[in-house]
Amino acid sequence: MRLWTAEEIAIACHGTASAAFAVSGVTFDSREVGPGDLFLALKGETTDGHRFLDQAFARGAAGALVSEPTPHPHVIVPDTTAALDALAVASRGRMGGTVIGVTGSVGKTGTKEALYAALDRADPGCAHRSVKSYNNHTGVPLSLARMPRDARFGVFEMGMNHAGELAALTRLVRPHVALVTTIAPAHSAFFRDEAEIADAKAEIFQGLEPGGTAIVPFDSPHRERLIAAARPHAARIVTFGLGEGADVRALETMRTRSGGTYVTARLELGGGGWRELSFTLSQPGMHWVSNAMAVLAAVEAAGGDLELAGLAMAELGGLPGRGARLTVPAVGGEALVIDESYNANPASMRATLEVLGDERGRKLAVLGEMFELGEHSEAFHAELSGPVQAAGITYAILVGEGMKPLANALEGHVDFVHVPDAAAARDRLDAVLQAGDAVLVKGSNGVRLSTLVAALAERQPCST
């Protein structure tokens, strides 16, 4: 697939091409370069991509975007970071399909993946999305630059930890549909309160294309604030959730034997019309039911196929670090590990602890501290005591200094141990893990609980 030619890159970035070449992919990580890729030699605070040009071409790069001379095929520009933004703008400008932007404090990556699966199911190969959590000032333009010129749908995750960041990203993405998942006290160290977080997330609506749709969580205490922020930019505002009154809501839910949820949803289509849709959601937990309502709202707004969206959500697998389930060897047989190690905030902790509570057998939790919670961090950690007890946790392994308030709150209520790091947590888990156990592993990414999951996965006989 020809994604970009050297001439197209030069025109888009106001650069000069050294030779004619064509690329089929784009990356700024030399370790991820594949045959035919364009390597972006970005300069950061601690590294310079120009140092890795030889490595990138040894791995098969077809060309590079550079700001310094090189003997390799290239397009040279004054500033490669600015050129990446320009390439993103050009990619968005040539795409004639429908673009969907997704943000929120909780659930944005899972919702983005489910939405992509729903759109791709109806039109295989014609949907594009940002991979991993490429949702910041470099990840979003990279994801745009990778979008095929003939894509029918583009789904882009956008994140932030300061006011103003989403406003810049959404003007690059220019979505036709802008979706906010859940507002929660993530990154609250940088905001006075949750209302300010809602305002920052609502910046996504500022980039809506004329005639665009804003999708807002009905059950959020910030619903009216989000609607007010969307109103100047959106031709249509749709709410989703579990509560009566939401435009797209779950009428009935029933847990399936496999651990997912059978859902009957009702969609208000405007003009007095409505429809019902029943499907099985493979992911467990009511937070995922809410995510599924957001997906249906976005699929309908984008003109996608709702029935095939339901089938896609029945087939969703868990994402590494965000709900993947591993069956691992344990004393006497096998144990279940729920991998939520990528990130954590108070809302996502409560939701995943509730999921663990629904599992059978002995319940263990490896919980890492939550970062960037500001002056209320101690209270947020201590307040997890209730959800831990409600989930019926038999044994908790608390990881990191920030977990001390939770340790104090659990004293005398739940058997636990408080350890300094992921390595110590792994040792403790190895000592107690038994056949039939269900283990939740969750914490902020900086706690590195993913290393614990990786160690368990290396010895796993199978995964689900």
Query: Which tens digits make up the pLDDT trace of 264-280?
Result: 999 998 777 899 999 99
Q: Which residues of the chain does CATH 3.40.1190.10 include?
A: 95-314
pTM of the model: 0.87
| Structure-derived torsion over alpha carbons of residues 396, 400, 405, 409, reported in degrees to the nearest 10 | 10
What residue spans in the chain does CATH classification 3.40.1390.10 cover? 4-79
| Among the ranges given (185-189, 263-267, 321-325), the one the predictor scored with the smallest mean pLDDT | 185-189
191 pLDDT tier (thresholds 50, 70, 90) = confident
Q: What integer pLDDT is reported at residue 461 of this predicted model?
A: 56
Bigger pLDDT: 459 vs 403: 403
Mean pLDDT of 133-161: 94
pLDDT at 133: 75
Q: What share of the chain has pLDDT > 70, as a percent?
A: 98
pLDDT for 229-242, tens place per residue? 999 999 999 999 99
Determine the topology of domain 95-314 in CATH.
UDP-N-acetylmuramoyl-L-alanine:D-glutamate ligase (3.40.1190)
- pLDDT category at 460 given cuts 50, 70, 90 is low
pLDDT score of 464 more than 90: no
Window from 77-81, 217-221, 328-332 with minimum mean pLDDT:
328-332
Nearest to 393 by CA among 448, 441, 333, 430: 441
Q: Which fold has domain 4-79?
A: 3.40.1390
Q: Are strands 324-330 and 333-340 parallel, antiparallel or unpaired?
A: antiparallel
- Sign of the torsion angle spanned by Cα atoms 451, 454, 456, 458: negative
Distances from the Cα of 369 to the Cαs of 364, 384, 395, 420, 446, in angstroms? 16, 11, 17, 10, 9
**What is the reported pLDDT for 187?**
63
Does 409 score more than 90 pLDDT?
A: yes
User: Does the pLDDT value for residue 317 go beyond 90?
Assistant: no
Per-residue pLDDT of 141-154, as tens digits, reads: 999 999 999 999 99
Q: Work out the pLDDT band at 463, boundaries 50, 70, 90.
A: very low
Start and end residues for every CATH 3.90.190.20 domain found in the chain: 324-463
Residue type, 388: V
d(CA 280, CA 120): 18
Share of the chain above pLDDT 90, in %: 84
Q: What pLDDT was estimated at residue 322?
A: 86
What pLDDT does residue 186 have? Answer: 67
Q: Please report which confidence band the pLDDT of residue 462 belongs to, taking 50, 70 and 90 as the band edges.
A: very low
Mean pLDDT over each residue of the chain, to the nearest integer: 94
pLDDT of residue 118: 97
User: Residue 51: is it exposed, middle or buried by C-beta count within 10 angstroms (0-12/13-18/19+)?
Assistant: exposed
Whole-number Å distance between alpha carbons of 212 and 207: 9
Q: For the ranges 107-121, 213-227, 271-285, 358-372, which has the lowest average pLDDT? A: 271-285
What's the pLDDT at 318? 80
Q: What would the pLDDT profile of 273-299 be if each residue is shown by its tens digit?
A: 899 999 999 999 999 999 999 999 999
Q: Report domain 324-463's class.
A: alpha beta
